[in-house]
Amino acid sequence: MPILTRRNLLKASAVVGTYGIGVGIAGKFGMAEAAPEPQLLKAVKTQATLTDAGVTKNIMTWGDAGGDAGMPPVLRMTKGKPYAARLTNALDEPTTIHWHGLRIPNKMDGVPFMTQPYVYTGDSFDYAFSPPDAGTFWYHPHCNTLTQMGQGMTGVIVVDDPADPTFDSEVVLNLRDWRLGGDGQFIAAFRPRDAAKTGTYGTVRTANWHQEPQYDAPAGGLIRLRIAVTDVTRVFSLKMEGAEATVIAIDGNPVPKRFPLDLLLIGPGQRLDLAVRMPDSEGAVATLEDIRGTTPKTIARLRSVGASLKRNVGDLAALAENPVPKADLSSAEKISVTLSATAESAPVDSICGTLGYSFWAINKVTWAGDTADPTAPLAELKLGKSYILQLENLTPHVHPIHLHGMSFTVLSSSAGEVMPFVSDTYLIQSGESVELAFVADNLGDWLLHCHIIEHQKTGMTSYVRVV
C-alpha cells in the first residue's frame, strides 16, 4: 500500500478538505485559560511482547519522542482545566484521535471528514480543549479503526477532580483482546460471518497489555479501580472474587446510587469505576473476573500488602456530579432510532478503510462509509433544546451505542427498571427499547454508532446535527 501523505493524496484524488488546523475554540466549551504545552502523541508502528510466543510485530500505538513505545499512555487531565496534545503521524496511513466521552468542541472530536481533516503520514494536528467532566474516559483513532484500534491504539484517559474523595491507591485497567495466531502475530482482523453477528473475538485477552496481571494494593485499603473496555468486540460480565467491589461511576459519571458489582455487563467503549475494599490479610488476592461465556476468565488480580488500613467503603464521600445539563422532559422532542440488520451490500471504500460488507442499519439506512458526501443526519437538533432518543434494537445481538459530543441520561427501558445514570454509551440488549434524554448543547455533527467496530464499519453508524 502506498504511503498516504497529503501531497500524493492530493495528486491522486479529489479528497480536499476545507478545514483549518486544529486550534483552541472559544465558546461555551472553550478555553478560558492559555493552553498548556501539548502532550506529544506520536502514532507509531512498533512491536511488543504480548504472549509467550515472542514479539508481536505491527503493533500500533502512541509514543512520545523515541524509545520503545508500549501501551498508549494513560492521559491525565483535570476537570475544567485546559489540556493540549499534539498528534504526530508516523504511521504509513492517515489517523486521528477521538476522545471518547469528553464533551468538547466539535473540531476536536477527531472524526475525519465530519470534524477534521485526515492527519496524513508525517503531518501533525493540535488538539486543545478543557474536559468539562471528571471520570474515566478513553481515546482512539477514528480512521481505519478495526486495524488501528485492533493493533493497539486504545488508551485510557483519567480526568481528575481535585475534590474527589481520597483513595488509598488507584489502579487503571485497559481491557482489550488481540487477534493473534499461535506464533504471536496478527491474524485476519475479522470474519464476515462474525461481523454479521456478535463481531469477531480476539484470541488473547489482556489488561494493560498483560495477561492476568497482578497489582499490589494496601491491605484493608480502598482502591479506585478504573476499568475501560477498549476492545473492538468483547462485552464483559464483571465480578470481583475475594473483595467487596462497589460501583461508583459508569462511563465516567458518578452513579446516582452506589451498588455492589455483580455481573454487570459492560461493552466496548464503556468504563466502570469501582471502589474495591482490599482484604485485611497481607497476601490475600482479589480477582476481577469476566464470567460471560462458558468459563470464568481472570482479568486481573489485586494483592493485599502491608498491615490492614481497616477502611470502610461506607466512609467514602460521594463523587461530585458532572455538569451534564438535565433534559427538560416536558418539552423534549422524541427521536426514533431503530437498529436492524440489512441486506448485504458493500460500502464505499475510503482512506479510513472499509471491511467490504454492509450488514447493519440505523433507521434502515446503512452507513455508506467515511466519505466527503455522507448520508443525511439522523436528525437536525436545535442548540439548547432537549431530546429523547428512543432506541430500539431489532437485532438478535447486543450493541454498545455511542453518542459523540453530548452525554445522555437513561430514562427507561423495556428490559425493566433502570438506574437513571448519565452516559455516552448504552449497551442495548436484543429486543430492548430504551429512552435516552439529553440536551443538544454542543454545536456540530456528532456520530451515533455501535462501538463493536465491525458493526460500526458495516453500517451501524449515523449522526445527529446540532445547529
Nearer CB in complex with Cu ion: 336/430: 430
Nearest to 187 by CA among 178, 177, 196: 178
Interface stretch with Cu ion, choices 221-229, 246-254, 269-277, 445-453 (CB under 5 A):
445-453
Q: What is the C-alpha separation between 300 and 212, in angstroms, rounded?
A: 5
Nearer CB in complex with Cu ion: 248/266: 266
Assess contact for 346 and 357: CB atoms under 8 A.
Answer: yes
Interface stretch with Cu ion, choices 98-106, 209-217, 410-418, 451-459 (CB under 5 A):
451-459
Assess contact for 177 and 154: CB atoms under 8 A.
Answer: no
Nearest to 404 by CA among 178, 107, 156, 148: 107
The binding track of 340-379 with respect to Cu ion, each residue x by CB under 5 A or -, is: ----------------------------------------
Q: How many CA atoms lie within 13 A of 434 on its CB side?
A: 27
Nearer CB in complex with Cu ion: 140/455: 455
Interface stretch with Cu ion, choices 144-152, 299-307, 315-323, 395-403 (CB under 5 A):
395-403
> Smallest gap, in angstroms, from Cβ of residue 343 to Cu ion?
17
| Contact pick of 243, 452, 453, 464 for Cu ion (by CB under 5 A) | 452
Q: Does 232 bind Cu ion (CB under 5 A)?
A: no
Nearer CB in complex with Cu ion: 179/455: 455
Q: What is the C-alpha separation between 341 and 362, in angstroms, rounded?
A: 9
Nearer CB in complex with Cu ion: 203/430: 430
- Owner of C-alpha cell 446540532: 466
DSSP state of 29: T
- Amino acid type, 97: I
Nearest to 116 by CA among 461, 445, 363: 445
Nearer CB in complex with Cu ion: 340/375: 340
DSSP letters spanning 394-463: -SSS-EEEEESS--EEEEEETTB-----EESEEEEPTT-EEEEEEE--S-EEEEEEESSHHHHHTT-EEE
Interface stretch with Cu ion, choices 58-66, 111-119, 317-325, 399-407 (CB under 5 A):
399-407
Nearer CB in complex with Cu ion: 42/404: 404
Q: Does 381 bind Cu ion (CB under 5 A)?
A: no
Q: Per DSSP, which regions of 75-168 are E strands?
A: 75-78, 83-89, 98-100, 124-129, 135-140, 155-160
Which helix (H) or strand (E) is 148 found in, with range?
Answer: helix 145-150
Interface stretch with Cu ion, choices 3-11, 222-230, 434-442, 444-452 (CB under 5 A):
444-452
| Contact pick of 455, 459, 463, 464 for Cu ion (by CB under 5 A) | 455
Q: Does 399 bind Cu ion (CB under 5 A)?
A: yes
Q: Does 427 bind Cu ion (CB under 5 A)?
A: no
Interface stretch with Cu ion, choices 120-128, 280-288, 381-389, 392-400 (CB under 5 A):
392-400
Number of residues forming the site for Cu ion (CB under 5 A): 4
Interface stretch with Cu ion, choices 34-42, 71-79, 252-260, 397-405 (CB under 5 A):
397-405
Nearest to 400 by CA among 429, 431, 427: 427
Nearer CB in complex with Cu ion: 85/450: 450
Cα distances (angstroms) measured from residue 456 to each of 138, 199, 400, 401: 18, 10, 10, 9
Q: What is the C-alpha separation between 178 and 167, in angstroms, rounded?
A: 32
Q: Does 450 bind Cu ion (CB under 5 A)?
A: yes
Nearer CB in complex with Cu ion: 117/267: 267
Nearer CB in complex with Cu ion: 5/198: 198
Q: How many CA atoms lie within 13 A of 301 on its CB side?
A: 13
Find all residues with CB under 8 Å of 24, minimum gap 6, and list them.
30, 31, 35, 82, 128, 129
> Smallest gap, in angstroms, from Cβ of residue 450 to Cu ion?
3
> Smallest gap, in angstroms, from Cβ of residue 129 to Cu ion?
28
Interface stretch with Cu ion, choices 78-86, 155-163, 293-301, 442-450 (CB under 5 A):
442-450
Nearest to 134 by CA among 27, 260, 251, 46: 251
The binding track of 182-221 with respect to Cu ion, each residue x by CB under 5 A or -, is: ----------------------------------------
Name the residues that contact Cu ion, by CB under 5 A: 399, 450, 452, 455
